[in-house]
Copies of this chain bind each other. A is one copy, B any other.
Amino acid sequence: MTGDRNSSVCVLGTGLIGGSLLRAATAAGYRAWGYNRSAPGAQAARADGFDVESDIAAVLSRAAADDALIVLAVPMPAIDTVLADVKTFAPDCTLTDVVSVKEPVRVEVHRQELGAYYVGGHPMAGTAESGWAASSPDLFRDAAWAVGVDPGTRAEPWNRVARLALDCGAIVVPVLADEHDRAVARISHLPHVLAEALAVAGAAGGDLALGLAAGSFRDGTRVAATAPDLVRAICEPNAAALTEAIDDALRLLAAARDSLRDEGTLGELIDAGYSERDRYDTLRRWDITDIRPGDHDWLERLRDAGRQGGVIRSLD
């Protein structure tokens, strides 16, 4: 963490992501504190030495007094309620979030007239576990962290949010909210849906099949162990983009099924899948070094760079 300015962070929600952020920001030298809606949840974090309360008014009033960066780390269904509290107690604070969709959060933030200092965020990290107990200060180490570059975003809050992501060990990917949502539908939400389908179709083979299951089934169903309510909260707010991604998967699978049934071969799918997995394995991220937030056209230039695989690893 660089310097002392803007060095406080208020995390609303201390589950896996919010809790890990509280730990990581603290480790990076921020003054960081948090809110958990349940008293036992807050108590669990306090028992580990973190400053977490279940009194949202107190937590947010402190944020307002200390000019803290507020991080919304609650699931999408709770965002409107928490934003109403922010509006009441800390309407002038810089605001970001770590929710798995960006456009619905952005819309709600603007509906509640909190858009002036808002910059959307989404760290691409997680485990099948959830809750404070699963949180870790290293969760974001080398992870991509999407940071919004939607029109109207201001440079100062953007820098502050990007710096927090970097200080947590992540790599910043600049992205528009709706492009983010279409992308994560394919690489985060679709994997969840396919994992659930594989778990069901596999278990239909009974204990014999499950007893023979090895690495391909274990890995392919890993995220199906995520709590169902959390999966719904992650995927369902992105319904339009996820519907399109599932449609794509259905077309690919139906073509393979038809080819296998009629000609005994899985057709083009196998070579295509191998080739695209290789593309993923060999993806070269390049560093964005020549765009300074606040410069002319900086948002458009960051957006274009992000589309082409550009990332930010440090800020001056």
Residues of A at the B interface (CB closer than 8 Å) are 124-127, 143-144, 146, 173, 175, 179-180, 182-188, 190-228, 231-232, 235-236, 239, 242-243, 245-250, 252-254, 256-257, 260-261, 264-266, 269-274, 276-281, 283, 285, 306-309, 311
Chain A at the B interface: mostly helix, strand, loop or mixed? Answer: helix
When the two chains form their complex, are residues B207 and A249 in contact, meaning their CB atoms are under 8 A apart? no
The smallest C-beta distance from A106 to any residue of chain B, in angstroms, reads: 17
CA distance A261 to B218 in the complex (A): 29
When the two chains form their complex, are residues B196 and A272 in contact, meaning their CB atoms are under 8 A apart? yes
Q: List 20 A-B contacts (CB under 8 A).
A: A125-B214, A182-B209, A187-B212, A187-B213, A187-B216, A187-B217, A188-B217, A191-B202, A196-B266, A200-B269, A201-B248, A203-B279, A208-B306, A211-B311, A224-B276, A226-B274, A228-B271, A235-B266, A236-B264, A236-B266
When the two chains form their complex, are residues A199 and B276 in contact, meaning their CB atoms are under 8 A apart? yes
A180 / chain B contacts, CB cutoff of 8 Å: 212
When the two chains form their complex, are residues B187 and A252 in contact, meaning their CB atoms are under 8 A apart? no
Nearest CB in chain B to that of A171: its residue: B211
A242 / chain B contacts, CB cutoff of 8 Å: 260
A272 / chain B contacts, CB cutoff of 8 Å: 196, 199-200
The smallest C-beta distance from A179 to any residue of chain B, in angstroms, reads: 7
Q: Which of A211, A236, A246, A311 has the most CB of B within 10 A?
A: A211
When the two chains form their complex, are residues A124 and B213 in contact, meaning their CB atoms are under 8 A apart? yes
When the two chains form their complex, are residues B285 and A193 in contact, meaning their CB atoms are under 8 A apart? no
A279 / chain B contacts, CB cutoff of 8 Å: 203, 210
The smallest C-beta distance from A200 to any residue of chain B, in angstroms, reads: 5
A214 / chain B contacts, CB cutoff of 8 Å: 124-126, 143-144, 187-188
CA distance A63 to B135 in the complex (A): 57
Question: 8 extra interchain contacts, Cβ-Cβ under 8 A, other than A173-B211, A216-B222, A235-B270?
Answer: A126-B214, A180-B212, A196-B270, A200-B252, A201-B245, A227-B274, A231-B266, A242-B260
Nearest CB in chain B to that of A189: its residue: B216
When the two chains form their complex, are residues A280 and B186 in contact, meaning their CB atoms are under 8 A apart? no
Q: Which of A242, A269, A281, A308 has the most CB of B within 10 A?
A: A269
When the two chains form their complex, are residues B208 and A198 in contact, meaning their CB atoms are under 8 A apart? no
When the two chains form their complex, are residues A215 and B126 in contact, meaning their CB atoms are under 8 A apart? yes
